[in-house]
């Protein structure tokens, strides 16, 4: 179940570009479906065997109607193609949400029917062990840069094994055919000319016919592989950070964040840099640069290539640089299916710019350039540099009035740069810098965009309707409102931990996978403790949980960045995972006494879906303020749990 959920979040986001920015959409559909599947566990008709057909139909729909966008709102920027393709957003997103929910409901119903055969806590324990296996398997395939056909083969093999264990049913041949079609559809995409996969993107290479190679990721033009001479002729702005240095001698140490396929590294070598640290988060883009760049910059002994997150590299290096360049490090995807954090979000905050400043050698300079979609984004970044360096940055713009290309440069030494022009704001008011607590660079104002608000409202309305129609009256869930609130609070707590570790250790897929695995292992540890020890009072557990949340709130995540890496890991793990452990002790103690484990777990999962919606409040209040919200929701769980009945009899006729 978890493996399919992770695969859908990753694969659909690579073909429907809206979901590269709203992968939480697939997560919410998954939670709705899983909740409905558990609520249906005692229905007469078992829908699990129909899951392969539903999953195949979903894959065929997305394959037939991939979507790219050219849309940017007034308050939120997306990076899309230069033209729109596919079905309109209002048609694509509802279909995907509902079909994802249907697929996950069918799979979850199979889980739930087995769930009901065990004592509640033992069932939950087995479910968590299976979830850990799912995330480990998916992480292993990500490490190997596996294409979607590998994910499809794993899913098909699991379905075939599970369906083979059931008595022969009408339509079993159709289900096997559906699995073969699933593998064939994913194979056609996986082996299409020019396609390959990294842990973040679907990458497509195309020969432009002029000696250059176009690189698209998730259907969006991203980079061009070309010689340094061609780049100097076509895009001379890449050379401005070197030309604006007052020092006539070549820079000795250069740091390039967002090295990509090596174009900026080739320029640094052309300009005479002695030592170059090239930081790139995507291993496949680095590999393509090493293989295909005409000048082979990554093979030069002056270049040290590091595959990691740029902010994490700055936190871990002691080197001082004569020139630091943020070279178009804009990502086109989110960190995970559970947060509004993009891969580069922590690279453009006020604190990140201060970290870069602190790594400049005397007389060193900082530069950044990109194609910006709106003038207010140029103003936000220039304003950030003004705050960090105490003066307006140098600014060279090409169509920046309409949000085009801009090159921004700053230095602590006013004489280090020869500015042709300095920044003058064109928007009013000038947007404030993004911060580590509110790292939403592409959100102009601290508000939930109207598109998000409408989508969230529609999701809630659709979810209520689906639960009522498919699972029946809400009355059986009333006795489990405390578990509903626990689910909402835990999903928000989990999101906060994902974001916290991304800041402390990098926004890489590997860190993200470790956090999820760590959370599941913590949950498993709490279940094992709960099986061995029964607390005398749940109120004490709630008290300890709220105390741990208070500690997590009192210690800002950014304050841990000054610690050495081992100490940072120990302290961050203790602060982040103690509430997770205590929350699951509370849950386990309550869950062991439920008389209807599938309805109880379904209510908990639907609460998690609501928690996923509440996560968007971070766009307004920031991530740190999520902790008081989490504490308040756990307070509601405590209040509703005091009078909740225990040992509710199972439905009539149930096992």
- The single-letter DSSP state of residue 328 is S
Q: How far apart are CA 611 and CA 606, in angstroms?
A: 9
Instruction: Check residues 355 and 173 and name the one with the higher pLDDT.
Output: 355
Look at residue 72 and give its three-state secondary structure: coil
Statement to judge: residues 222 and 190 lie in one domain = no
Task: Give the pLDDT confidence score for residue 75 in this predicted structure.
Answer: 54
For residues 578 and 556, give the distance between their C-alpha atoms in angstroms, rounded to a whole number. Answer: 16
CATH number of the CATH domain containing 264: 3.40.50.150
Q: What is the DSSP letter of 480?
A: G
341 in any annotated domain: no
How many domains does the chain fold into?
Answer: 2
- Model pLDDT, residue 93: 75
- How many residues are listed for the chain in this entry? 655
* Contact in structure between 618 and 340 (CB atoms under 8 Å): yes
- Whether residue 167 is found in the same domain as residue 253: no
Structure tokens at 608: 């998690």
Given 396, 416, 436, which residue is the final one in a domain? 416
Segment holding 256, helix H or strand E: strand 253-257
Neighbouring C-beta atoms of residue 398, cutoff 10 Å: 11
Q: Is residue 316 part of a domain?
A: yes
Average pLDDT over residues 458-472: 82
What is d(CA 17, CA 27) in angstroms, rounded to the nearest whole number?
Answer: 15
Using CA atoms, how far apart are residues 49 and 169, in angstroms rounded to an integer?
9
CATH number at residue 124: 1.20.1250
466 and 531 assigned to the same domain: yes
364 and 450, same structural domain? no
User: Is the preceding peptide bond at 191 cis, omega within 30 degrees of 0?
Assistant: no
Tell me the percentage of the chain whose pLDDT exceeds 90. 57
Q: Please report the pLDDT score of residue 442 as a whole number.
A: 85
DSSP-assigned beta bridge partners for residue 550: none
Q: Which tokens sit at 164?
A: 């083979």
Assess if residue 424 is contained within a domain: no
Whether residue 648 is predicted with pLDDT greater than 50 in this model: the reply is no
pLDDT of residue 82: 46
**Rounded Cα distance, 244 and 249, in Å:** 12
Taking the chain, what is the end-to-end CA distance rounded to the nearest angstrom? 23
Reported as a single tens digit per residue, the pLDDT across 378-398 is 999 999 999 999 999 999 887
84 Cβ contact list (under 8 Å, min separation 6): 67, 68, 69, 70, 71
Question: How would residue 81 be classed by pLDDT, with cut points 50, 70 and 90?
Answer: very low
Q: What is the pLDDT of residues 393-413, one digit of tens each?
A: 999 887 544 456 889 999 999
Both structure tokens of 119: 């004592």
Of 10-14, 285-289, 604-608, the poorest mean pLDDT is in 10-14
Q: 255: part of which helix (H) or strand (E)?
A: strand 253-257
Contact 298, 278 (CB under 8 A): yes
* Domain assignment present for 128: yes
| Domain-located, residue 654 | no
From the list 329, 83, 369, 334, the residue with the least C-alpha distance to 219 is: 83
The residue with greater pLDDT, 281 or 169, is 281
Q: pLDDT category, 87, cuts 50, 70, 90?
A: low
Dihedral angle, C-alpha 144, 149, 154, 156, nearest 10 °: 180
- Same domain for 110 and 177: yes
| pLDDT attached to residue 22 | 61
Give the residues across from 67 on adjacent strands. Answer: 16
Distance CA 153, CA 159 (A): 10
- Is residue 422 in some structural domain? no
Cβ(549)–Cβ(576) below 8 Å: no
pLDDT at 161 over 70: yes
Residues 482 and 358 in one domain: no
CA distance 614 to 623: 11
Distance in angstroms (rounded) separating the CA atoms of residues 581 and 655? 31
For every residue of 552-615, which 3-state class applies, written as one string? HHHCCHHHHHHCCHHHHHHHHHHHHHHHHHHHHHHHHHHHCCCCCHHHHHHHHHHHHHHHHHHH
pLDDT value of position 76? 54
Which has the higher per-residue pLDDT, 244 or 65? 244
* Share of residues in the chain with pLDDT > 70 (%): 89
Report the alpha-carbon distance of residue 629 to residue 527 in Å, rounded. Answer: 25
Report how far residue 490's alpha carbon sits from residue 606's, in angstroms, rounded to the nearest whole number. 12
Q: Do 241 and 323 lie in a common domain?
A: yes
Average pLDDT, the chain: 87
Asked whether residue 53 falls in the same domain as residue 117, the answer is: yes
Report pLDDT for 206: 94
- Nearest-angstrom CA–CA distance, 208 and 586: 59
* 3-state SS string for 10-21: HHHHHHECHHHH
Q: Stretch 343-359: mean pLDDT, rounded?
A: 93
Cα dist from 454 to 20, 450, 451, 532, 626, whole Å: 19, 6, 5, 46, 22
Q: Cis (ω within 30 of 0) for the bond into 188? A: no
Query: Last residue of a domain, which of 416, 435, 462?
Result: 416
Cα 510 from Cα 418, distance rounded (Å): 41
Cα–Cα distance for residue pair 352/346, rounded to 1 Å: 7
**For residue 652, pLDDT beyond 60:** no
Quick one: average pLDDT of 290-295?
96
33 plus 63 within the same structural domain: yes
**DSSP string spanning 347-413?**
GSSHHHHHHHHHTEEEEEEEEEEEE-SSHHHHHHHHHHHHHHHSSPPEEEEESGGGT-EEEEEE-SS
Do 180 and 289 sit in the same domain of this protein?
no
pLDDT of residue 86: 55
Q: Residue 323's beta-bridge partner residues?
A: 254, 365
In a domain, 652, yes or no: no
Q: What SS3 class is residue 32?
A: helix
Q: In degrees to the nearest 10, what's the CA dihedral of 155, 160, 163, 167?
A: 180
Same domain, 273 and 183: no
Residue 21 has pLDDT above 60, yes or no: no
What average pLDDT does range 604-620 have in this prediction? 90
What is the reported pLDDT for 66? 66
Region class of 324: left (phi > 0), else alpha (psi between -120 and 50), else beta: beta
Residue 353 tokens, joined: 């710019």
Looking at residue 164, what is its pLDDT?
Answer: 83
Average pLDDT rounded to a whole number, residues 125-149:
93
Segments in 390-506 forming alpha helices (H): 450-471, 481-505
Of 42-46, 89-93, 122-126, which has the strongest mean pLDDT? 122-126
C-alpha triplet 205, 210, 213: angle, nearest 5°: 15
Angle at 111 between CA 107 and CA 116, to 5 degrees: 145
Q: Among residues 339, 318, 333, 381, which one has the least CA distance to residue 500? A: 339
* Phi, psi angles (nearest 5°) of residue 272: 90, 15
Same domain as 226, residue 92: no
Q: Residue 87, Cα to own-chain centre: how many angstroms?
A: 24
- 21 within domain boundaries: yes
pTM: 0.87
Domain that holds residue 135: 2-194+445-642
Give me the mean pLDDT over the 575-598 stretch: 90
Mark which of 374, 397, 416 sits at the end of a domain: 416
For residue 646, name the pLDDT band (cuts at 50, 70, 90): low
């Amino acid at each position: 179940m978890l493996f399919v959920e992770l695969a859908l979040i990753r694969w659909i986001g690579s073909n429907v570009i809206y979901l590269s920015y709203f992968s939480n959409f697939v997560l919410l559909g998954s939670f709705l479906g899983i909740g409905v599947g558990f609520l249906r566990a005692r229905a007469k008709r078992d829908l699990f065997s129909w899951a392969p057909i539903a999953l195949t139909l979903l894959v065929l729909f997305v394959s037939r109607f991939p979507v790219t966008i050219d849309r940017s709102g007034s308050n939120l920027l997306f990076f899309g193609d230069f033209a729109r393709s596919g079905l309109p957003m209002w048609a694509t997103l509802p279909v995907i949400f509902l079909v994802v929910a249907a697929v996950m409901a069918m799979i979850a119903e199979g889980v739930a029917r087995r769930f009901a055969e065990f004592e509640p806590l033992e069932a939950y324990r087995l479910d968590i062990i299976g979830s850990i296996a799912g995330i480990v398997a998916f992480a292993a395939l990500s490490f190997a840069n596996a294409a979607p056909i590998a994910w499809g083969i794993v899913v098909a093999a699991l379905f075939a094994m599970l369906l083979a264990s059931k008595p022969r049913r009408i339509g079993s041949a159709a289900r096997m055919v559906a699995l073969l079609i699933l593998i064939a559809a994913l194979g056609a995409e996986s082996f299409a000319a020019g396609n390959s996969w990294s842990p973040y993107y679907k990458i497509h290479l195309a020969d432009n016919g002029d000696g250059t190679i176009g690189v698209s990721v998730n259907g969006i033009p991203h980079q061009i592989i070309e010689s340094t001479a061609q780049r100097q002729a076509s895009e001379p702005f890449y050379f401005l950070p070197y030309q604006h240095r007052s020092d006539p001698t070549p820079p000795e140490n250069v740091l390039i964040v967002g090295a990509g396929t090596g174009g900026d590294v080739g320029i640094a070598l052309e300009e005479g840099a002695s030592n170059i640290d090239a930081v790139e988060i995507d291993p496949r883009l680095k590999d393509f640069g090493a293989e295909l760049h005409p000048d082979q910059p990554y093979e030069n002994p002056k270049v040290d290539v590091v595959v990691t997150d740029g902010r994490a590299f700055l936190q871990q290096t002691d080197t001082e640089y004569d020139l630091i360049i943020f070279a178009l490090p804009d990502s086109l995807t989110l960190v995970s299916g559970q947060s509004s954090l993009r891969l580069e979000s922590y690279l453009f905050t006020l604190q990140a710019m201060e970290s870069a400043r602190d790594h400049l050698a005397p007389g060193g300079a900082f530069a950044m350039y990109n194609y910006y979609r709106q003038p207010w984004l140029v103003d936000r970044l220039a304003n950030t540099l003004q705050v960090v360096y105490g003066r307006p940055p140098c600014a060279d713009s090409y169509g920046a009035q309409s949000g085009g290309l801009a090159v921004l440069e700053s230095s602590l030494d006013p004489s280090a740069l020869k500015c042709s022009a300095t920044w003058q704001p064109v928007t009013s008011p000038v947007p404030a810098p993004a911060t580590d607590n509110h790292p939403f660079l592409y959100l102009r104002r601290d508000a939930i965009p109207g598109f998000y608000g409408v989508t969230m409202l529609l999701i809630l309305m659709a979810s209520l309707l689906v639960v009522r129609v498919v699972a029946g009256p809400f009355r059986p869930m009333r006795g489990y409102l405390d578990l509903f609130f626990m689910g909402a609070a835990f999903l928000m707590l989990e999101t906060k931990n994902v974001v916290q570790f991304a800041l402390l250790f990098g926004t890489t897929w590997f860190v993200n996978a470790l956090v999820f695995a760590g959370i599941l292992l913590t949950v498993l540890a709490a279940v094992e403790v709960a099986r061995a020890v029964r607390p005398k009072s749940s109120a004490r557990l709630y008290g300890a949980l709220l105390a741990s949340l208070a500690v997590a709130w009192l210690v800002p995540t950014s304050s841990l960045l000054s610690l050495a890496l081992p100490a940072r890991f120990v302290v961050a793990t203790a602060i982040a995972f103690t509430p997770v452990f205590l929350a699951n002790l509370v849950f386990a103690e309550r869950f062991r006494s439920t008389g209807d484990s599938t309805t109880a777990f379904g209510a908990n999962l639907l609460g998690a879906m609501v928690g996923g919606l509440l996560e968007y409040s971070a766009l307004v209040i920031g991530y740190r303020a999520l902790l008081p919200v989490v504490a308040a929701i756990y307070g509601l769980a405590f209040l509703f749990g005091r009078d909740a009945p225990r040992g509710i009899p199972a439905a009539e006729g149930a096992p």
